[in-house]
Structure 1
């Protein structure tokens, strides 16, 4: 059975016919590391289903300082959802950290399917619920955990994070400097 079909069925029941329709509004892409899928200020019409690789979402200040908001691992949905829903320019950049395999889905065609079929609407709602849970968890971590605890939570979420993601990206995600992260790692290795 198709792994992507199985994944979508783990979210909500969809038929093979519905899966075929989703495939028809999707394009499979291999994207090299360092590619910006969504650029800052860009109006986008795409959402992505990541099946292999790692993507980061970040915000950049006028001075060029970057703040990582999220890391996406397989299998997950990736996109500038607020920009898509409001049809406004993206405030975030979505960049591949590794070579990635993904499906590029036309968001507006998907929304049309949701209007026409409750099965697609259910899938969309379940994906949104999952994203909300993820963001709420991240917010709780930022508010209630210190830097070491946030790092440990990230390591729990991505066990080999230190091999997969550069230290400066991890530090930015945690809201600390690379030096602080190095100290935390050193202290944990010493315990």
Structure 2
């Protein structure tokens, strides 16, 4: 069985025919690290199904500082969803932090397919639910968990992350400084 078909069926039930229709809107690509998949200031048109690797969604502040909004590991969906839905330029950029394999899905074609295919429509609803859950959990974590607890949770979500991406990227995601992260890591040894 195709692993992507299997992954999609873990989210929602789709037939092989529907998978073929979705495949017509999709393209498999490999990227090296530090590649922009979506740029801030532009209206995004692609949703990314991350097959392997780690990527980040981030914002750049006027000071030049970047803040990681989300880290994605495979398998997952990534994209500047709010900007695509509202058809507005995004303030969020997507960048690969490691070598990545992704399936790029044309968002507008996907939305058109939603109108005519109940399986795709239900899949979209499930993906939106998962995105909302991740968003809410992230916000609650920032409000209720200590930096150490957030770090331990991230290590559980992305095993070996400290060996995969730079520490400053992890610190940015945790909303702490690299020095604070270093202290946390030292205290856990």
Give the structure-1-normalised TM-score.
0.97
Query: What is the 5 A alignment of 1:4-153?
Result: 4-153=4-153
Alignment match, 1:175: 175
Aligned equivalents of 1:32 and 1:148: distance in 2?
30
Aligned equivalents of 1:134 and 1:20: distance in 2?
28
RMSD: 0.8
Unmatched tracts of structure 2, length 5 or more: none
The superposition leaves residues 125-182 of structure 1 with CA deviations (integer Å, 9 ceiling, x where unpaired) of 0011111111111111100011111111111211211111210000011111101100
Point out 4+ residue stretches in structure 1 off by more than 3 angstroms. none
Aligned equivalents of 1:169 and 1:42: distance in 2?
23
For residue 90 of structure 1, give the secondary structure of its aligned residue in structure 2: coil
Aligned equivalents of 1:44 and 1:188: distance in 2?
40
The superposition leaves residues 22-46 of structure 1 with CA deviations (integer Å, 9 ceiling, x where unpaired) of 1101111111111101111011211
Alignment match, 2:187: 187
Aligned equivalents of 2:130 and 2:149: distance in 1?
23
Alignment match, 1:160: 160
Aligned equivalents of 1:98 and 1:155: distance in 2?
16
Aligned residues, how many? Answer: 189
For residue 49 of structure 1, give the secondary structure of its aligned residue in structure 2: strand
Aligned equivalents of 2:148 and 2:8: distance in 1?
35
